[in-house]
Amino acid sequence: MKQRKKRKGVLERLRRIFFFRKAPAKIGLYGPPNAGKTTLANRIIHTFVDENEDIGTSTDIPHETRRAVRKGGVLIDLKAKALQNSYIKTATNSSSDSDPKPREKKSKLKLDIVDTPGLATKIDFHDFLAFGLDEVEAKKRAKEATEGVIEAIKWLEDIDGVVLLMDATEDPYTQTNIVIIGNLEARSIPVIIAANKIDLAEASPQRIADAFPQHTVIAISALKGEHMDDLYEEMARRFK
């Protein structure tokens, strides 16, 4: 009996040595519909995985993403990215001798990115008719969108960190944003707020920072790729 227990202990140790790996953190991209979650997910995949691969389709129609999509094993390698950027800069700028040295970035982090459907308290099929969908299609989309909201909520059970996207052109003080943040705080899930769409003239990321002063807010444009390095650095720091 004792022998069997000992053998089991050795096997367990071997299993841990050869097979046990720390699973990559699952990072959820959350937010209301049309905040730019899929655009950000695609941007991350293009930057660190494959420039031709998309995690989903982003359009102006709300609830385009109606199923959570997980992309596993995304390696956020800031050092490699910094070197690549510096190489591109050197190749395109002959007076690079006068430029300061690129900042050394040591962070490397493997993540699973989960693009979730937009969270909402109401889904009216009539809203989709305005985007040219016929009634049958609009009702189908509305039904799928409700299932998507439930799926996004269920995913909170399995998520290790969240990038919460907010549209910087809109009022951030909505009940949906408050409910998401409250739930993340209650579950002690680390969160970064990404104030998206700063490429638009009416964007005000400061309004988001003022509304949620207890959280880190990074102003980005996922579509244009503005300030993405700031977000990646914060992700590497918070989700390590």
Query: Which residue ranges make up the site for another protein (CB under 8 A)?
Result: 119-126, 139, 142, 146-147, 149-150, 153, 156, 171, 173-175, 178-179, 181-183, 185-186
Considering the complex, state which of residue 80 and residue 179 has its C-beta at the smaller distance from another protein.
179
Residue 87 DSSP one-character state: H
State the minimum distance, in angstroms, from the CB of residue 64 to another protein. Answer: 17
Contacts of 231 (CB under 8 A, 6+ apart): 163, 192, 194, 218, 220
Question: Is the CB of residue 141 less than 8 Å from the CB of residue 128?
Answer: yes
Considering the complex, state which of residue 48 and residue 128 has its C-beta at the smaller distance from another protein.
128
State the minimum distance, in angstroms, from the CB of residue 183 to another protein. Answer: 5
Q: How many CA atoms lie within 13 A of 52 on its CB side?
A: 0
Q: What SS3 class is residue 115?
A: strand
Considering the complex, state which of residue 88 and residue 178 has its C-beta at the smaller distance from another protein.
178
State the minimum distance, in angstroms, from the CB of residue 36 to another protein. Answer: 21
Q: What SS3 class is residue 109?
A: strand
Considering the complex, state which of residue 46 and residue 207 has its C-beta at the smaller distance from another protein.
207
Question: Is the CB of residue 30 less than 8 Å from the CB of residue 37?
Answer: yes
State the minimum distance, in angstroms, from the CB of residue 156 to another protein. Answer: 8
